[in-house]
A and B are shown apart, each in its own frame.
Chain A
């Protein structure tokens, strides 16, 4: 393996783990909480965001030398809104049921801070390939985060996973999990778990340096 492929893999993993948009940077909360009542919805939202994020970042990266600094934010917003409109029609064409389930949150991808943040902080300064890798990593991280939320909420709140019943007919679903408060609770719980892991790692590291 050459050095460049290692760093590229590293850059891809950064979005998934170290800079996970949902669990570490806590961005893009609105869609993360609103549509994750089931695993299918969460996954679809993740894929839609992936499409918008990747396409917008690629276009921004390609045009980065052309875009004047003064109007860059306006330009990014126009580009993002374009791809959101495209994905809006694509989802309508694929499945109306899914379109109804995701509702206005497809169009609200436009104001998802992750995308504008990536366009401004990364894509506007880097050539095509690193931008693509970074965007894909970030989207994968976001999709995994949504999926983690969506599966927990669906399993607890409806007793199903991808619509398949898990616990038999006697299961009394924990309905609050698919209601708005459940979204806050589940995301809060995930963040707690991540914080606990991070602290443990830190403590181990501190102990190791003390012993050495």
Chain B
């Protein structure tokens, strides 16, 4: 490591830079060709993964369109004519609109994230505009304890909490009732989620993820839901 360790006849700096440059160029070439070669397959995989997740939470959907809802109340289609295919405007919330076979809106899906027991729990939940209810959710990624935290996908009592009420207040700026997770067995209202005994933290994360996201998204899209009614 020290200069004393280098033997007297050292390689000249020019030779070193030349070799390093050559190798860097070679490596750059390899990386770029790998990136270009796999780009289409990777994008296709990502699209399929999103579609599969959305179709799972909106079972009646046959096709999806990706939108972003900006804070000032406009809704733009993501990837429409833009240069970057996945660019979302600053501060906007991304969501997916699912359309059935006849091109009618069958549901809205959006991502939510909250801290769970061992890491972030990322979920995708579905909002049904016709009834103003959260109809269900699916997990995008989580590292919860197998056999305990991952019960959120199978526990009957927990899943029976859905659909959840998610109506807006009179002025449309906030949720009329925040979605909360309550202790197992004490669910009394349509906006409450019945926690799983022994997996309270994960249950609460699901509630928080839905609430945080719905609180931001729904006031922006519900007043303009008519723009989304038909498949573009």
Contact = CB atoms under 8 A, between A and B. Distances in A.
A82 interface: yes
Chain A interface mostly: helix
Interface stretch (B39-47, B79-87, B128-136, B188-196): B39-47
Interface stretch (A10-18, A61-69, A105-113, A194-202): A61-69
Contacts of B23: 63, 67, 75, 78-79
A130 B111 CA distance: 52
A-B pairs, 3 with minimum CB distance: A93-B41, A82-B27, A68-B11
Nearest to A86: B34
Interface of A: 63, 66-71, 74-75, 78-79, 81-83, 85-86, 89-90, 92-97, 100, 157-158, 173, 175, 178-179
Nearest to A88: B34
Chain B interface mostly: helix
A69 B34 contact: no
Which of A69, A89, A97 counts the most B-chain CB atoms under 10 A from its CB?
A89
B20 A75 contact: yes
Nearest to B33: A86
Given A66-B19, A70-B10, A85 B31 contact: yes
A89 B11 contact: no
B38 A90 contact: yes
Given A85-B34, A92-B38, A175-B146, 4 more contacts: A66-B19, A69-B6, A78-B27, A79-B27
A100 B31 contact: no
Interface in B71-126: none
Contacts of B37: 89
A69 B11 contact: yes
Contact of B145 (A67, A71, A179): A179
B19 A71 contact: yes
30 contacts: A63-B23, A67-B19, A67-B23, A68-B11, A68-B15, A69-B6, A69-B11, A70-B16, A71-B19, A75-B19, A78-B23, A78-B27, A82-B27, A82-B30, A85-B35, A86-B31, A86-B34, A89-B34, A90-B34, A90-B38, A92-B38, A93-B38, A93-B41, A94-B41, A96-B49, A157-B146, A175-B145, A178-B146, A179-B145, A179-B146
